[in-house]
């Protein structure tokens, strides 16, 4: 199962330029499922797209200066937002706490699944006839093969466990982009690399996927770690996924970036 983590921690230009990620988008947008409605913000567009992806849950890690506005916009979304407690300690704080929250979510989910399986299959032990009970069924295999899972495009997300990380300053997102990354990550069976990253026209961007070991490794890095620089130092361990959607490499770092994003989303 893949869990989604959205990190909204970079305050430039969010705070200096009146938080453009929260501003409502212009009214004129092209029609279609990939385009955000006119009354939504870039943050709402990002999160609503993530929620339509093949993920078992969505965690949102928030800078404390952005938390109140973000919580208001995320009200009604099926996400698990929290404010990063140690945000001032270093640039990697949100990653550390976000990945910890994703691991805790996975643990709770697995316990709930185990409890449900035990409830419906019965407690271990001999039957009333004295015979040994049948071995438990492979719940995962059944779930992956179910018609509902296939229809929703979830099957591939069960091929490998991991965490897919989205950034609030890369808010332009599409279903094709995230599904292409999940598909490539799930298909790499021979000597699978622990990290998959979206690459658009040679430029590295987001989202990226960490398998469980890589997630623990990234979580253990120092608070002063620049994750983008760390990724460049670990290129042999990264599966480059060449994507066709421009949003993978379109950061929101200025008001000019915001205007450009709005124009592209309208195109």
pLDDT of residue 19: 56
Residue 150 has pLDDT above 90, yes or no: no
Least confident segment among 61-70, 146-155, 164-173, 185-194: 146-155
CA 231 to chain centre: 17
Residue 15 has pLDDT above 70, yes or no: no
pLDDT of residue 260: 87
Average pLDDT, the chain: 81
pLDDT of residue 81: 94
Residue 91 has pLDDT above 60, yes or no: yes
Copy the structure tokens of residue 45.
């567009």
Residue 224 has pLDDT above 90, yes or no: yes
Cβ-based neighbours of 91, under 8 Å, separated by 6 or more: 223, 224, 225, 226, 227
pLDDT of residue 153: 45
Residue 28 has pLDDT above 80, yes or no: no
Report whether 238 contacts 205 (CB < 8 A).
Answer: no
Domain ranges of the chain: 2-116+157-173+186-217+239-266
Least confident segment among 10-14, 92-96, 208-212: 10-14
pLDDT of residue 137: 47
Strand order in the sheet with 238-242: 80-83, 58-62, 2-8, 162-167, 203-211, 195-200, 238-242
Cβ-based neighbours of 146, under 8 Å, separated by 6 or more: none
- Domain covering 2-116+157-173+186-217+239-266, topology: Spore Coat Polysaccharide Biosynthesis Protein SpsA; Chain A (3.90.550)
Average pLDDT, integer, range 143-172: 69
- 239 by DSSP, 3-state: which? strand
Q: Which of 25-29, 30-34, 50-54, 132-136 has maximum average pLDDT?
A: 50-54
Side-chain half-sphere exposure of 150, counting CA atoms within 13 A: 5
**Residue 174 CB: number of other CB atoms within 10 A?**
18
**Residue 148 CB: number of other CB atoms within 10 A?**
8
Q: Which of 25-29, 105-109, 244-248, 252-256 has maximum average pLDDT?
A: 244-248
pLDDT range class, residue 67, cuts 50, 70, 90: confident
Average pLDDT, integer, range 227-252: 95
Average pLDDT, integer, range 7-13: 72
Average pLDDT, integer, range 144-151: 47
Least confident segment among 43-57, 107-121, 173-187: 107-121
pLDDT digits (tens, 9 = 90+) for 104-147: 999 998 888 777 777 776 555 444 455 555 544 445 455 555 54
- Please report, in angstroms and rounded to a whole number, the separation of the first and last CA atoms in the chain: 34
Report whether 37 contacts 29 (CB < 8 A).
Answer: yes
Average pLDDT, integer, range 16-20: 52
Cβ-based neighbours of 177, under 8 Å, separated by 6 or more: 198, 207, 243, 245, 247, 248
CB-count burial class (<10 Å; 0-12, 13-18, 19+) for 178? buried
Average pLDDT, integer, range 155-178: 85
**Residue 117 CB: number of other CB atoms within 10 A?**
12
């Amino acid at each position: 199962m893949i869990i989604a983590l959205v990190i909204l921690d970079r305050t430039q230009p969010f705070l200096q330029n009146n938080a453009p990620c929260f501003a409502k988008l212009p009214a004129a947008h092209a029609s279609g499922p990939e385009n955000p409605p006119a009354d939504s913000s870039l943050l709402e567009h990002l999160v609503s797209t993530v929620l339509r992806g093949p993920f078992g849950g969505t965690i949102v890690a928030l800078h404390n200066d952005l938390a109140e506005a973000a919580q208001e916009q995320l009200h009604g979304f099926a996400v698990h937002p929290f404010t990063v407690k140690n945000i001032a300690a270093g640039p990697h704080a949100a990653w550390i706490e976000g990945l910890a929250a994703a691991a805790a979510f996975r643990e709770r989910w697995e316990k709930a699944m185990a409890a449900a399986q035990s409830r419906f299959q019965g407690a271990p032990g001999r039957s009333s006839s004295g015979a040994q009970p049948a071995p438990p069924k492979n719940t995962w295999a059944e779930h992956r093969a179910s018609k509902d899972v296939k229809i929703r495009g979830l099957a591939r997300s069960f091929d490998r466990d991991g965490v897919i990380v989205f950034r609030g300053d890369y808010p332009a997102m599409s279903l094709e982009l995230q599904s292409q990354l999940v598909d490539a990550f799930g298909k790499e069976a021979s000597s699978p690399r622990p990290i998959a990253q979206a690459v658009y026209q040679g430029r590295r961007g987001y989202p990226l996927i960490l398998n469980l070991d890589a997630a623990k490794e990234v979580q253990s890095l120092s608070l002063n770690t620049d994750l983008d620089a760390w990724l460049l130092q670990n290129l042999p361990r990264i599966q480059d996924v060449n994507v066709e959607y421009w949003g993978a490499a379109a950061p929101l770092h200025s008001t000019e970036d915001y205007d450009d994003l709005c124009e592209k989303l309208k195109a």
